[in-house]
A and B are shown apart, each in its own frame.
Chain A
Amino acid sequence: MDMTEHVIEVTGLRRRYGSAASGGSKAGRKGGVTALGRKRGGDTGAGGFEAVRGLDFQVRRGEVFALLGTNGAGKTSTVEVLEGLARPTAGKVAVLGLDPFADRAAVRPRIGIMLQEGGFPSDLTVAETARMWSGCVTGARPIQEALELVGIEDRASVRVKMLSGGERRRLDLAMSLIGYPEVLFLDEPTTGLDPEARQQTWALIRRLRDAGTSIMLTTHYLDEAEKLADRLAIMHEGQIVHSGTPAEVSAQQPSRIRFRLPHGVLPAHLPTSLRAAAHGDQIEIRTQDLQRDLTELMLWAQQQHVALEQLNARTASLEEAFLDIARQQPQLEGAL
């Protein structure tokens, strides 16, 4: 077995759809979002759109790495290159030390892929689908075992078209696991699952990770990334804007304190060291040291006999990092 430390290495990855027109302006970006939408319909936009704009990251053996981002951030465009489904426009990717596109015959037997929207013939039963898939895989698991992994073994004789959306996702996951992959690509694996099935899928992903499988996960669920990922990267407009362990990414974000000043107390009366921002009587303090600043504020309020209304302190979180991106790009809020 290949013992490289990194199972996935991405250097300077770029991916462009359509012609080589530039899309750097704000208007170009907005047009780009539309172009990406069209691309999902199977079409490349006429104007050209750079969906991935220079990515660098590595996935280590045996870890769960999550790629987070809003819709249209470039997650799927990135993963498609790693899966060997598309060639990069520029840059280099290596999966298990090989080029996933050129060396696909060598890479594919060692990886498992679950697409965001993969499909199986609706008139086949679950068992027939699994038999077809396992026939295409080197050293496949027994079908019963694969179905049991995702808990749909009791649906083996049911036609795919009679399955619920969540059951179809689980069948898809089972097929991606059937060849004992060393590296598993999961593109939004729990979208459409009910809460219980979601928990089961999370537990399965952890079990696979503990058994040594490296997992590359894309998701737009923050809690999914926070609970599952050993490391993660947040993508926005084709670039990585934050990366690290969930704790590190959270810690890069400021904590914040919010409150209202009572009538007659002006923002200027607050200690200057707090660097408070005022919107009317609403005060917001963004801080890297929540405890120190909160203590200072509390002491000040006590000494000045000021009653702070609607006091709220929030520690740094992934959600904050995510919302921060949305705040910077108000036109993208609809996509969230």
Chain B
Amino acid sequence: MSTTTTTRPDSPRPDAPRPVKPAPTSWMRLPDKAARRRMAALSRAELTLLVRNRTALFGALLMPLLMVGFLLTMADTLGLDDGNLPLAAVLGTSAIGMVLLMAVYSTLIPAYVGRREERVLKRLRTGEATDSQILAGTAVPAVVLSLMQCAVIIVAGSAHPSLSTPVRPDLLIAGVLLGTLMMTLMAILTSAFTRTVESAQITAMPLFLLAMATSGMLTQLDTLPDRMADIFRMLPFTPIMDLVRAGWLDAGGGDVTRALLLAVAWTVLAGYGIRRWFRWDPRQ
């Protein structure tokens, strides 16, 4: 059975009697395939919407790059290379952080709000797709784009003279994937508190600024007072950046296991928040 063509050869003709639906036992065996087909259909529509929306596309593809450029020009003022890590290491890992915050978090909030306000989520919920398939399908294009950007950053960064190839690829991958998942869930959660697509720019700010300020992207954490750094390492995005730094550079300080557990804890918490606060009906 093809999943890409729209007219399937076994589709009945208009004048043919309605086909007998497969018995429950037969579809119970293929939820994986059916689920994948549904996700593909939803993701494809979402990708079309992303490509047609200049603002969203700009935010997902160019903003992370611009932000890294901005950090580079501000490096002296911010004292970015004060600390254990060379400037290139801070910029390389921060670029990954920027991608997660902009291409995933900030891009997905307006996507969820837009689908909710246009009653698309509500309409989809009347169909066969489950709630998690609907939410995940919406996220796929942004997630894929950001993973591709992360790959480019890691490959390009590894070629830089003062950087190396990732020292602990397993930790780097864990950091990027957990970060992607956490940012997706945080975007779904934030959308619940966002009235319109336009106001998503504002509701994205608290977590965005908090992440920027506390995760070692603007100031290396080891230059901060110990107690402050300890508090920062508890906040949602810092464990992700700790994992990325540990994975790529085997540096950045902090306990890797602790970072992993904290990242998982914040992700689970975001999931709980979604259960509690997410809304499918428009807020108008």
Contact = CB atoms under 8 A, between A and B. Distances in A.
B120 interface: yes
A136 B6 contact: no
B168 interface: no
Contact residues of A: prevailing secondary structure? loop
Contact of B11 (A109, A115, A141, A149): A141
Contacts of B49: 121, 123-124
A113 B127 CA distance: 8
Interface stretch (A18-26, A126-134, A277-285): A126-134
Contacts of B24: 106
B41 interface: yes
Given A106-B24, A135-B37, A212-B18, A119 B52 contact: no
Contact of B14 (A41, A133, A145): A145
Contacts of A143: 6-7
B227 interface: no
Interface string B1-37: 0010011100110100111111010010001001001
A133 B127 contact: yes
Nearest to A175: B123
B124 interface: yes
A182 B21 contact: yes
Given A42-B279, A42-B282, A121 B19 contact: no
Nearest to A108: B128
A115 B120 CA distance: 11
Nearest to B115: A121
B281 A135 contact: no
Given A115-B122, A124-B48, A137 B18 contact: no
- Interface-centre pick from A1, A108, A110, A142 (highest chain B CB count, 10 A): A142
Nearest to B38: A136
B125 interface: yes
A137 B48 contact: no
Interface string B52-69: 110000000000000000
Interface residues on B, range: 35 or more
A210 to B, nearest CB: 12
A142 B115 contact: no
B18 A123 contact: no
A123 B119 contact: no
A144 interface: yes
A135 B44 contact: yes
B41 A136 contact: yes
Contact of A1 (B20, B44, B129): B20
A109 B21 contact: yes
Given A41-B284, A120-B118, A132 B126 contact: no
A109 B27 contact: yes
Interface string B222-265: 00000000000000000000000000000000000000000000
A284 B177 CA distance: 78
A304 interface: no
Contacts of A182: 18, 21
Nearest to A111: B126
B40 interface: yes
B7 A142 contact: yes
A180 B11 CA distance: 11
A42 B281 contact: yes
A132 B6 contact: no
B45 interface: yes
The 8 closest A-B pairs by CB, nearest first: A135-B41, A119-B119, A42-B281, A118-B123, A132-B45, A113-B126, A142-B7, A119-B118
Interface of B: 3, 6-8, 11-12, 14, 17-22, 24, 27, 31, 34, 37-38, 40-42, 44-45, 48-49, 52-53, 114-115, 118-120, 122-130, 279, 281-284
Given A85-B126, A122-B118, A131-B6, 20 more contacts: A1-B21, A41-B284, A85-B125, A109-B128, A115-B126, A119-B118, A119-B122, A120-B118, A129-B45, A131-B41, A131-B44, A132-B45, A133-B41, A135-B42, A139-B11, A141-B11, A142-B11, A180-B19, A180-B21, A213-B18
Interface of A: 1, 41-42, 83, 85, 105-106, 108-110, 113, 115, 117-124, 128-129, 131-145, 148-149, 172, 175, 179-180, 182, 211-213
